[in-house]
Structure 1
Amino acid sequence: MSPKRLYRTLALAEAVTWTILIVAMILKYAAGVEWAVLVGGSIHGFVFLSYALTAVIVGVNQRWNLGRIAFAVLTAIVPYATIPFELWLVRKGHLEGDWRREKTDHPADGNWVNALLRWFLARPVLLVSLAVVGIAVVFASLLVIGPPGGREA
């Protein structure tokens, strides 16, 4: 899977889970379906974390500056903002190219972040496994802390 396709998939998934969360909130507050936000929020939260990690990995691979990477992550906070941002990235050519598994003469390829990315890209099963475990640990930690605004009594 190319960086472009991976990013597009997660950007779309993030938007879809916003819809799930919004519908869940409507069900909770309009129809009294209390569990809807727990389920919808959990799905959205897991995909949010997955999108954020994907934005960082793809951003480093595509040599985005720190501001663009941060903005990519922040677009997940605004409902549906990942879609126009992804379209902008495509239009500007910021998602073109394959995974950078080899060091090049580019100045950024000499830093430790890019070296670490290349090392993990050479071991995709390990990268995916650590990503899934890392996301699950963060997700579980956030569940223990509780939802934004706290739990209702």
Structure 2
Amino acid sequence: MPSTADPRTAARLTPKRLYGLLATAEMFTWGLLLLGMALKYGHVSDAFVPVFGGVHGLVFLSYCVVTCFVWVNQRWGLGRGLAGLASAFIPFCTVPFERSTDKAGLLEGGWRLGPDGDRPRGFIETVQAWCLRHPFPALILGLLFVAVVFSVLLILGPPVPRS
């Protein structure tokens, strides 16, 4: 039996889909970073840590931005939002956090501040509404933001002093 759902609706990037994608990517890059560290300290090669660490850092920052974006959209409480951010610091914790949040029904629905959605209240919701109503400029600005933060962190150096 053919589906009666609008294919454009099915293909939309919902909060649930976006958050699941970034949670999975963040968990995967944790694995790459730990693999690179195992290869380094197993005296196989030092070459993987900078590459895998860089990829993980970029995805980590993106996950944190998306967590804040979904936090505002879904109206999570302070505890849930902070737990979402904290899950990125613990290896392989983002997907279990995302699944428990989904199971609690806190990822359901679309973008409430989208073009035909709620009126924004406050500065943060106004910024999010603008992003949802102007996705391409918002994506460019978001990528620039992550790139600037990533570059500053690269200049500052690794989180653990080199010996």
More off after superposition, 109-118 vs 82-91: 109-118
Q: What letter matches 1:103 in structure 2? A: D
Residues 1:103 and 2:118 aligned together = yes
Residues 1:136 and 2:147 aligned together = yes
SS at match of 2:92: coil
Gaps of 5+ in 2: 1-12
What's the TM-score, normalizing by structure 2?
Answer: 0.86
Partner of 1:73: 85
Pairwise CA distance, 1:72: 0.4
Partner of 1:56: 68
Give the alignment of 1:4-153 within 5 angstroms: 4-100=16-112, 101=114, 102-103=117-118, 109-152=120-163
String of CA shifts for 1:74-95, please: whole Å, max 9, x gaps.
1000001101111101100000
In 1, the alpha carbon distance for the partners of 2:29 and 2:148 equals 20
Pairwise CA distance, 1:32: 4.0
String of CA shifts for 1:61-112, please: whole Å, max 9, x gaps.
11112221121011000001101111101100000010121225xxxx4222
Q: What letter matches 1:74 in structure 2? A: A
In 2, the alpha carbon distance for the partners of 1:73 and 1:91 equals 18
String of CA shifts for 1:36-85, please: whole Å, max 9, x gaps.
11111111111000000000001101111222112101100000110111
SS at match of 2:88: coil
What's the TM-score, normalizing by structure 1?
Answer: 0.92
Residues 1:3 and 2:18 aligned together = no
Pairwise CA distance, 1:120: 1.5
In 1, the alpha carbon distance for the partners of 2:126 and 2:154 equals 33
In 1, the alpha carbon distance for the partners of 2:58 and 2:102 equals 25
Number of residues paired by the alignment? 148
Percent identity, aligned pairs only, is 41
